């Protein structure tokens, strides 16, 4: 089901772009056919910074199902990173809050969140950002009778070119956090007062 939905979302566009690959990390069983990597190209990818200086990258693909015009396939992914690179490039460690992904098709919904990983972001000309990431993620899928099924682990690989557009990017990020998937606030570094000099 997951692989078929990603195939159905394939198309091209021009408002930034991204390429994603998903590989199951389950070692309990392999369903036929042979194990493979699911791939997805996205035609929208945006970046912006919030009031705290946090760097956001959001990408999206929407497409009406070819076999039923009333059904819509939706895919959104957002990355929340510490801040823009001070120079030309920067590496980032990924943890539980950095990646949120939403896939929606009719009543079926699937959510991914990162566990650990690494990302790199490069400044490009024309106010663009280029980057890539590799992360171990956890997927939860909705069940017909309500609630979420058992978690499944996936390796998520991605690369992107993002254009600056806060309005469109925020709309995508909000979708990835909707329904109780919002991120916890980033921990701020603690400071300690300087030690008072010992009295003579």
Write out the chain in H/E/C secondary structure.
Answer: CHHHHHHHCCCCCCECEEEEEEEECCCCCCCCCCCCCEEEEECEEEEEECCCCCEEEEEEEEEECCCCCCCEEEEEEEEEECCCCCCCEEEEEECCCCEEEEEEECCEEEEEEEEEEEEEEEEECCCEEEEEEEEEEEEEEECCCCCECCCEEEEEEEEEEEEECHHHHHHHHHHHHCCCCCCCCCCCCCCCCCCCCCCC
State which residues form the domain around 16: 2-26+44-177
What are the tokens at 45?
């990818």
Q: Is residue 127 part of a domain?
A: yes
Any domain includes 9: yes
In a domain? residue 31: no
**Residue 26 to residue 24: CA distance in whole angstroms:** 6
Tens-digit pLDDT string for the chain (200 aa): 555 444 444 433 458 999 999 998 988 777 665 668 889 999 999 999 999 999 999 999 987 655 555 667 889 999 999 999 999 999 999 999 999 999 988 778 899 999 999 999 999 998 999 999 999 999 998 876 677 788 889 999 999 999 999 999 999 999 999 988 888 766 654 334 444 444 43
Residue 98 lies in a domain: yes
Q: How many domains does one find in the chain?
A: 1
Which pLDDT score, from 0 to 100, does residue 7 have?
Answer: 46
Structure tokens at 93: 């460690």
Structural domain contains residue 84? yes
Is 36 inside any structural domain?
A: no
The whole-number pLDDT of residue 66 equals: 56
What is the structure's pLDDT at 10?
43
Asked, for residue 199, whether it belongs to a domain, the answer is no
What pLDDT does residue 172 have?
A: 96
Q: Which residues face 117 on adjacent strands?
A: 94, 135
């Amino acid at each position: 089901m997951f692989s078929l939905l990603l195939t159905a979302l394939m198309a091209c566009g021009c408002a930034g772009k991204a390429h994603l690959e998903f590989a199951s990390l389950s070692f309990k069983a392999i369903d036929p056919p042979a194990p493979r990597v699911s791939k997805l190209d996205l035609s929208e990818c945006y970046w912006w910074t919030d009031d705290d200086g946090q760097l956001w990258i959001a990408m999206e693909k929407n497409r009406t199902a070819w076999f039923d015009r009333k059904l819509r396939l939706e895919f959104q992914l957002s990355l929340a990173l510490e801040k823009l690179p001070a120079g030309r490039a920067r590496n980032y460690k990924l943890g539980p809050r950095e990646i949120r992904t939403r896939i929606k098709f009719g009543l079926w919904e699937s959510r991914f969140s990162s566990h650990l990983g690494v990302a790199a972001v490069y400044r490009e000309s024309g106010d663009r950002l280029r980057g890539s990431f590799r992360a171990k993620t956890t997927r939860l899928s909705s069940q017909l009778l309500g609630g979420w099924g058992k978690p499944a682990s996936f390796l998520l690989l991605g690369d992107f070119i993002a254009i600056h557009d806060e309005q469109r990017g925020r709309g995508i990020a909000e979708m990835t956090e909707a329904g109780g998937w919002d991120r916890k606030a980033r921990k701020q570094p603690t400071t300690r007062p300087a030690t008072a000099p010992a009295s003579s």
